[in-house]
Amino acid sequence: MIAKPEYLPAMKLFAFRLYAQDVGDIVLLARLLKRTTAEDLFSLLKHYYPDEEVPPRKQMAIHEIASEISAARNS
C-alpha cells in the first residue's frame, strides 16, 4: 500500500523532528500539495492524527514552517 502524498508532511509534522531536511521536505511537499498556510498544515495533521493534541511548541513551529513556505513562494 502506498501512502497518500498528504500523509507525508503530516507524518513529518507529527514526528516533530525539525531537522533542516525534515523542514525542507515539509515545505516542498506542502507547496506541491498547495497546503501553504498554517491552517492547512494543522488541517493535515489533525486529519491523520485526530486524537493527538498539538502542544504550543509544535504550534509555533508549524506557524514558522508556514512562514517559510510563504517566503519560498514569494521568492
Residue 31, pLDDT score: 93
Asked whether residue 72 carries a pLDDT value surpassing 90, the answer given is no
In order of 4, 28, 41, 47, the CA distances from 1 in angstroms are 9, 23, 24, 19
Question: What pTM did the predictor assign?
Answer: 0.85
14-68 tens-digit pLDDT: 887 766 788 888 999 999 999 999 999 999 999 999 999 999 988 999 999 999 8
Sort 38 into a burial class: Cβ within 10 Å, 0-12 / 13-18 / 19+.
middle
